[in-house]
Structure 1
Amino acid sequence: MALAPVTVIIPAFNEAASISTVVSDLVGAALPFIAEIIVIDDGSSDETGRLAEIAGARLVRHRQNRGYGAALKSGIRAAQTEFVLTYDADGQHRPDQLAALWTAHEAADMVVGARQALLHSPLWRMPGKWLLNLMANYLMRRRIPDLNSGLRLMRREVISRYLHLCPNGFSFSTTSTLALLSRGYDVLFTPITVAPRTGRSTVSLRAGLDTIVLILRIAALFEPLRIFVPASLLSGLAGVLWGIPYALAGRGVS
């Protein structure tokens, strides 16, 4: 029998409270397009890895914590299928939403599960998310419904070409979205809903600031005119405005 075309990749760091249920639910769903489930234990200090194996996942283990993006890279490199599907370990995603992503795969190189309402996201993160999306929409010349969703189906060969650009931290998702969009790949967004996460989030304010820098780096690499032309115009305008008082003073105008 031919190998099913999708490997589910679950990065996990100290997710013992949820990983058994997450893996068991995926195994129990028996989705015909899923070949295997790989959990990357990213240096957890709890029982995440052992519980993932018991539940039915193949385990890839990092000796120390290397970051969300590094865990995804390890999973992508360990996979052997045509497609990889990234899936969060905290219980926010549901197996019954994966069929919609798979249905859309023939028309896309990446299918992103676009969260319809971020009701469970802390209020202090909302302005940052809005700013990131505004920047990304401008730089990519299109509306991006969800820039950094952790649920996404990708052609393994395609995403593997850009792993060297993707960071080892939480900005992996954002960077992969922008890299494929900027290179003209077909990226589709399909609506999903998410449940409240189990356990404590490890995403920090620093991760958000790093994401802004990464967006600018990706844009400078693939869409430089979208950054440097406005920056040059603003710089020139600032110079003119700064010089006006001196010009007026030189003419004796008080």
Structure 2
Amino acid sequence: MRTAVSVIIPAWNEAERIGETLFALQAQPLGGDEKRLPFWDELIVVDDGSTDDTLRIARSFTDRLIRHPRNEGKGAAMESGFRLAKGDVILFLDADLGHSATHACKLLQPVLSDLADMTIAVFPKPVNRSGLGLVKRLAQIGVRRLGGCNVRASLSGQRAMKREVLERIVRFERGFGVEVGLTIDAARQGFRIIEIELPFVHRYTGNDLAGWLHRGKQLCSVAGAFWRKRRVSFFQRR
């Protein structure tokens, strides 16, 4: 019996790229088996209160849609998708991958083969660097200290995992700290985490005001996630 796979895509104002992302997922077989298309059993899009055409475009590719009436944060969107999902393996993907989403199925094989409980995609280094890398370094340090593991891409939203991992998550962070929170919880509970280098491409924030504001919001979310995980750890030891 084949393991069922649910793909969950949280999206907020992604009308520009979500169509290309979803189209790329439609015709990607698992392990090159052209007779079984696509590789997923259900594709869920969670529109987190978008004010553009994200929902309308997504509806053209899937009828598994969740609509938040207002923006609640990436973590909230991911949790909403998981609560609806029926698959034994959950694959989270960002909405802005575009054509590079064709590589998504490569995250599944170690999980389906029981070589890992969670896989995380490592992106290539960007050609044009933006920001100072502060959030990334903070994430790596925090996951190492609180989760006891070295993960290069703890901020990556491209990850596959067994349903059991999500069912044992202590708390879904609501915003951009959700990925580091998932990584820490999984590591603390002894789940096997493997990173896979894949040529994903997504929209990088620039060095303009909007970019710095985004990174500032991300930094606060990640720091908040670490603070909450540290408090949970403290009270569990008492």
TM-score range, shorter chain: 0.7 to 0.9
Query: In 2, distance between residues paired with 1:93 and 1:153?
Result: 19
Shift of residue 57 of structure 1? Answer: 4.9
CA offset at residue 4 of structure 1? 5.5
In the other structure, the counterpart of 1:233 is none
- One-letter code aligned to 1:117: K
Q: Distance in 1 between matches of 2:136 and 2:97?
A: 21
Q: Percent identity of the aligned residues?
A: 29
> Contact 2:5–2:88 at 8 Å: present in 1 too?
yes
Q: Which amino acid counterpart does residue 172 of structure 2 have in structure 1?
A: C
2:219 corresponds to 1:208: yes
2:160 to 136, 153, 160: 153
Please state if 1:54 is matched with 2:60. yes
What secondary structure does 1:20 align onto?
helix
Q: C-alpha separation between the residues in 2 aligned to 1:93 and 1:139? A: 35
The residue type paired with residue 144 of structure 1 is V
CA deviation string 1:27-48 (max 9, x = no partner)? 1324443112111011111111
Distance 1:92 1:146, change over 3 A: farther
The alpha carbon displacement at 1:141 in A equals: 3.3
Equivalent position SS for 1:153: strand
Distance 2:218 2:7 in 1: 25
Q: Does 1:7 align with 2:6?
A: yes
Structure 2 CA distance for partners of 1:156 and 1:216, relative to 1, 3 Å: same
Structure 2 distance, partners of 1:210, 1:55, is 31
Cα deviation digits, residues 187-234 of structure 1 (max 9, x gap): 111112332418987834033123123224324433x59xxxxxxxxx
Deviation at 1:89, TM superposition (A): 0.6
Q: Distance in 1 between matches of 2:88 and 2:74?
A: 22
Q: Is the 8 A contact 1:91 1:198 kept in 2?
A: no
RMSD: 2.6
AA aligned to 2:145 is: Y
User: Which runs of structure 2 are paired with 1:216-235 in the superposition (5 Å)?
Assistant: 216-222=227-233, 224=234
Larger Rg: 1
| Aligned position for 2:184 | 178
Distance in 1 (alpha carbons) for counterparts of 2:52 and 2:143: 37
Q: Aligned partners of 1:80 and 1:43: how far apart in 2? A: 23
| 1:27 corresponds to | 26
* Distance change in 2, residues 1:93/1:86 (3 Å): farther
C-alpha separation between the residues in 1 aligned to 2:98 and 2:187?
A: 26
> Do residues 134 (structure 1) and 141 (structure 2) align?
yes
SS class of match (2:41): strand
Aligned residue in 1 for 2:83: 77
After superposition, give the CA deviation of every residue in 1:70-117 in whole Å (9 maximum; x if it has no partner).
Answer: 000010011001011000111267233223211211122211112242
Q: Deviations over 1:98-147 (max 9, x none)?
A: 232112111222111122424465224x1232233123223333321211
How many residues align? The count is: 221
Hey, what does 1:112 align to over in structure 2? 120
Letter of the 2:76 partner, please give it. A
TM-score relative to the length of structure 2? 0.82
Secondary structure of the residue aligned to 2:15 is coil
User: Corresponding residue for 1:247?
Assistant: none
When the two structures are superposed, what TM-score results if normalisation uses the length of structure 1? 0.77
Counterpart selection for 2:173 from 167, 172, 192 = 167
Equivalent of residue 36 in structure 1, options 42, 47, 61: 42
For residues 179 and 129 of structure 2, what CA distance do their matches in structure 1 show?
17
Structure 1 residues 156 and 118, CA gap change in structure 2 (3 angstroms): farther
Could you tell me which runs of 5 or more consecutive residues in structure 2 were left unpaired when the two chains were aligned. Answer: 31-35
